[in-house]
Amino acid sequence: MSVSVPPPRFLSLKWKIILSLSLVLVISNAAIVMFTDSRAQEQFRIEQRQSMQTLFQALNKQLEASNANLGRVASLVSLLDAEQLPAGADLRQRLRHVLDLHSATLELEWDISMVRFIDSSTLNAFPAPNPDDLAEVLYQLARQAQTGGSQAAALVCQPECYQYIATPLIDQSGSGVLLVGRSIADLVLEFHRIHDARLAFLVPPRQGPDASLVERWQLDVAAVSGAQQGLPLLQAFANHFSTRQLAEAPRLMRYEGDWYLGQLATGRADNNLRMMIFPVSDAMHKLQGNRQTTIVISLAGLLLAESLMLLFLWQPMKRLRSLVSVLPGLGGCSDDGVGELPNPRKGAYLVNDEVDLLANSISELGQNLEASCRARDEAEQHLLWLANHDPLTNLYNRRYFQQQLEQMLGRALRYQRHGALLYLDLDQFKNVNDLSGHRTGDSLLQQVAALLRKNVRDTDLLARLGGDEFAVLIPEGDQEAAEATAKKILQRLKSLTISDDSHAHRVSASIGIALFPRHGANVGDLLANADLAMYQAKEAGRNRYYLFSASDQAREYLGLRTRFQEKINRALEHGGFFLQYQPVLNIREEEVVRHEVLIRMRDEDGTVVPPDRFINVAEQTGQIREIDRWVVQQALESLQEQPALRLAVNLSGAVIVDPQMQAWLRENLPKAGLRPGQLVLELTETAMVSNIVGAVELMRDMHSLGAEFALDDFGSGFASYAYLKQLPVDYVKIDGSFIQGLATSEDDQLFVKALVEVAHGLGKQVVAEYVEDAQTLDILEHYGVDFGQGYYIGRPGSDLVQQVPFRPPGNAV
Ligand code: C2E
Ligand code: CA
Ligand code: CA
């Protein structure tokens, strides 16, 4: 069972390229964006850390400056003008006096919110310090100053943040430490104003109503810049980060749409923690803006790259697709070629690419395929043509002819129509092949074909059935039409000659005619009967047509031959043969000088059978040797009986290659004691020429025995003056077909005249047979022909008369 596989889904190469490219670009762009972003963030962090550091440094500097300032102020306090100081006042009293005097200045101008003097004795008597107690812290500071002998400073947030300076004082009246304190609230505000940074001082929690506790850190806010905004911001940081986190590094936080950076630092030797918060929204926005810009740029680059890729790929891919769609069509050869071929120039730019190469290749391939398709078509056409035609003559062949005949026969039977079939066989065509070679034979067949084509109607069907056999099918043709066509063909064939260097062949044919459906209701019968009729025409002496007759039907060719073979045997055994003699006239002397011996066969029913009917068969069966021997025997006997007698005897061509017959002749001719001119042996030119050497030898032999030779039927198969010279014949017998129409045919006249000249030039005498009228005899005499023979002079008969003067029939006594 076959499993149908669904066709794989199609995704254009360009999309594959673009998709994978997109993937790569997206990843690489993202990496670039992330890298630059992390670099930017890193940079940002470094910058913010530096800013934070700077801020803390600034704070410390400001605190130090403030301390120094306070220290100077504290030093000045003891130097303030003490007017009207009571005499004998000690250091404490003097200071009180001064402070009282200048309290406004101290508080308003110098921003000193606390002044306190502790004398040395009090300081020394003070118990162990309590770190939670501000007083204790201050005592501690004072003691530090006293023991160090110089100013000591501290920032103490308890609960509010103050800067304190302890200055040791000493004079004649005593010693002590002056403590001066100043709130850092202004400093914090000032810092905020200058640096736009919020600052908070945080301390461990204490109980109290106004304590603002940062719960998560468990720290109290001692001071903060911009308490209204500052506190919530601080709370937010506390919610996000632990104190440890904030002490480690600056931390970033978003609060109410703005970004803030915060860090925690411990004051040196102080009890407080300082929280610095400053807004970084601008920087953050810049950072984010940069990031967005990078993303936008990389996205734009991505899009641009893909659009370009698409732009570049679109057209080539379109072409590729169209090229691909052409390919399946290239496989088959349809009637209109291999289909639309890609135009290699179409879409070709100045510079070619792979697609152009592909287009070129496909176009080339297509052209090649088209050419081979054409060649195949032509070959097919030719094969088709060959199936129905004969390549030599271009006529239809037997196969096609039989098909057509069958159809026509079918129609004829169905619709009571009729037609005629001519079966044509060239006479003695074999000789042409044997003597002049196959090329001449082929050429002859072509000429015959051309001639036939010219002499049949367009509606007739002409075919070469094989060898030298042709057929003409005449639709609607009756006996009259068929005979007219046959006559015309035979007549025209006469004018056809073909020659090579040494031979000129005349052409004739035997035509059998069969009518249908009268002479055959199927193709086989009809052809066989036409063939039989043709054979009858041959039997009747060739160069004629024969209409099939139903009575002949029984006598089929082979049967005919075997019957004749039997007849010949019977005739040989039981004296069925007899001889007739036809007079030969010496034209100039007007005297019968010789007789030609012609054989006849008496049939069982007494009818006389002419030699044309059985010589052929006898030649084929070999019986001809016995016949010839018998005839020669008879002739020799006659010559012995009548020494004045002169005879011409026909010999078959077989004698030339028959040593037994030759031996017999050599033995029997001398016995007859021949006198010169008493015996003429007639051999056809065809027989002689087929074995020239043998013929010449035989003739020399026979000459030496006193016999003469005649070249019979000269001109029927060929006319070769060259052979004439070679053959030692005494007589040349012009074939009767040249003589019968001599009075009317200029061609024949030319031929006869020329032959007489040549033959005489070679010392040979000329005999004309078939002299049928006085006019012909006159012409022959005029041409100088030596002998005449024919019905006008005398028909073959049984009388053997010695040389008699010729009396024309009309003048018969
Ligand atoms: P062929 O040797 O050319 O003999 C001449 C033939 O022409 C004879 O036919 C003769 O009857 C015929 N004839 C004579 N005068 C005329 C005429 O004016 N008009 C016409 N139309 N015909 C004329 P036949 O006797 O039927 O002999 C036919 C052929 O048979 C001979 O042709 C010859 O080739 C062969 N033949 C005859 N007798 C013998 C024979 O004894 N031995 C051999 N081997 N062949 C023979
Ligand atoms: Ca003869
Ligand atoms: Ca003859």
**612-640 pLDDT per residue, tens:** 889 988 988 889 999 999 999 999 999 99
Contacts of 209 (CB under 8 A, 6+ apart): none
Residue 445 CB less than 6 A away from ligand 1: no
Residue 598 CB less than 6 A away from ligand 1: yes
Tell me the best of 544, 682, 767, 769 to mutate to test the pocket of ligand 1, counting ligand atoms within 8 Å of each CB and taking the most: 769
d(CA 668, CA 633): 8
Contacts of 608 (CB under 8 A, 6+ apart): 600, 601, 602
778-813 pLDDT, tens digit per residue, is 999 999 999 999 999 999 998 876 656 777 776 443
CA of 789, closest atom in ligand 1: 15
Q: Whose CA is nearest to atom 2 of ligand 1?
A: 650
Could you tell me the end-to-end alpha-carbon distance of the chain, in angstroms, rounded to an integer? 109
> What is the model's pLDDT at position 211?
57
Residue 612 CB less than 6 A away from ligand 1: yes
Between CA 287 and CA 298, with CA 293 as vertex, the angle to 5 degrees is: 130
Q: Helices 523-539 and 557-574, interaxial angle, to 10°?
A: 30
Give residue for tokens 């000429």.
447
> What is the model's pLDDT at position 348?
53
d(CA 264, CA 240): 13
CATH superfamily of 398-550: Reverse transcriptase/Diguanylate cyclase domain (3.30.70.270)
Q: Helices 557-574 and 624-641, interaxial angle, to 10°?
A: 30
Instruction: Please report, to the nearest 10 degrees, the dihedral formed by the alpha carbons of residues 461, 466, 467, 472 taken in order.
Output: -20
Residue 796 CB less than 6 A away from ligand 1: yes
Q: Whose CA is nearest to atom 8 of ligand 1?
A: 598
- Whether the link from the prior residue into 159 is cis, omega within 30° of 0, is yes
- Whether the link from the prior residue into 517 is cis, omega within 30° of 0, is yes
* Antiparallel, parallel or unpaired: β 544-547 and 765-768: unpaired
Q: What's the Cα-to-Cα distance from 182 to each of 57, 67, 161, rounded to whole Å? A: 21, 9, 8
Contacts of 454 (CB under 8 A, 6+ apart): 492
Residue 628 CB less than 6 A away from ligand 1: yes
Q: Whose CA is nearest to atom 33 of ligand 1?
A: 650
- H/E stretch holding 271: none
Residue 650 CB less than 6 A away from ligand 1: yes
Q: What's the Cα-to-Cα distance from 238 to each of 159, 235, 262, 273, rounded to whole Å? A: 20, 5, 10, 13
Contacts of 584 (CB under 8 A, 6+ apart): 592, 593, 594, 595, 596, 648, 767, 787, 788, 789, 793
Tell me, letter by letter, the H, E, C secondary structure of 46-83.
HHHHHHHHHHHHHHHHHHHHHHHHHHHHHHHHCCCCCC
CB 412 within 8 A of CB 516: yes
CB 52 within 8 A of CB 276: yes
Cα 769 to middle of ligand 2, angstroms = 9
d(CA 291, CA 772): 132
CA of 796, closest atom in ligand 1: 11
CA of 771, closest atom in ligand 1: 18
Instruction: Please report, to the nearest 10 degrees, the dihedral formed by the alpha carbons of residues 349, 351, 352, 354 taken in order.
Output: -120
- Cite the beta strand spans of 365-477 per DSSP E: 419-426, 461-466, 469-475
d(CA 418, CA 531): 19
Give CB contacts under 8 A, 24+ apart, made by 10-15. Answer: 12/317, 12/321, 13/313, 13/317, 13/320, 14/309, 14/310, 14/313, 14/314, 14/317
Residue 651 CB less than 6 A away from ligand 1: yes
Residue 772 CB less than 6 A away from ligand 1: yes
> What is the model's pLDDT at position 812?
41
> What is the model's pLDDT at position 349?
60
Query: In the chain, which residues have pLDDT < 70?
Result: 1-4, 78, 81-87, 126-132, 206-212, 227, 267-271, 331-349, 552-559, 716-722, 801-804, 810-813
d(CA 746, CA 603): 42
For residue 106, what is the DSSP state?
Answer: I
Cα 650 to middle of ligand 3, angstroms = 9
CA of 631, closest atom in ligand 1: 41
113-141 pLDDT, tens digit per residue, is 888 888 887 777 766 555 567 777 788 88
CA of 735, closest atom in ligand 1: 3
CB 276 within 8 A of CB 249: no
> What is the model's pLDDT at position 399?
80
d(CA 437, CA 425): 19
* Antiparallel, parallel or unpaired: β 504-506 and 273-279: unpaired
Instruction: Quote the tokens at residue 622.
Output: 């070999």
CA of 627, closest atom in ligand 1: 42
Residue 615 CB less than 6 A away from ligand 1: yes
CA atoms within 13 A on the CB side of 438: 2
Q: Whose CA is nearest to atom 34 of ligand 1?
A: 650
Residue 540 CB less than 6 A away from ligand 1: no
Residue 611 CB less than 6 A away from ligand 1: yes
* Amino acid residing at 732: V
* Domains of the chain by residue range: 78-183, 188-284, 319-377, 398-550, 577-602+624-794
Instruction: Quote the tokens at residue 339.
Output: 């289909």
Cα 549 to middle of ligand 3, angstroms = 29
Instruction: Please report, to the nearest 10 degrees, the dihedral formed by the alpha carbons of residues 211, 215, 218, 222 taken in order.
Output: -40
CA of 652, closest atom in ligand 1: 44
Q: Whose CA is nearest to atom 37 of ligand 1?
A: 598
d(CA 286, CA 306): 30
Give bridge partners of residue 463 from the DSSP assignment: 396, 471
Cα 311 to middle of ligand 2, angstroms = 101
Give CB contacts under 8 A, 24+ apart, made by 410-414. Answer: 412/516, 412/517, 413/517, 413/521
CA of 579, closest atom in ligand 1: 41
Domain 78-183 has CATH 3.30.450.40: yes
Q: Whose CA is nearest to atom 7 of ligand 1?
A: 770
- Quickly name the fold that domain 577-602+624-794 has: TIM Barrel (3.20.20)
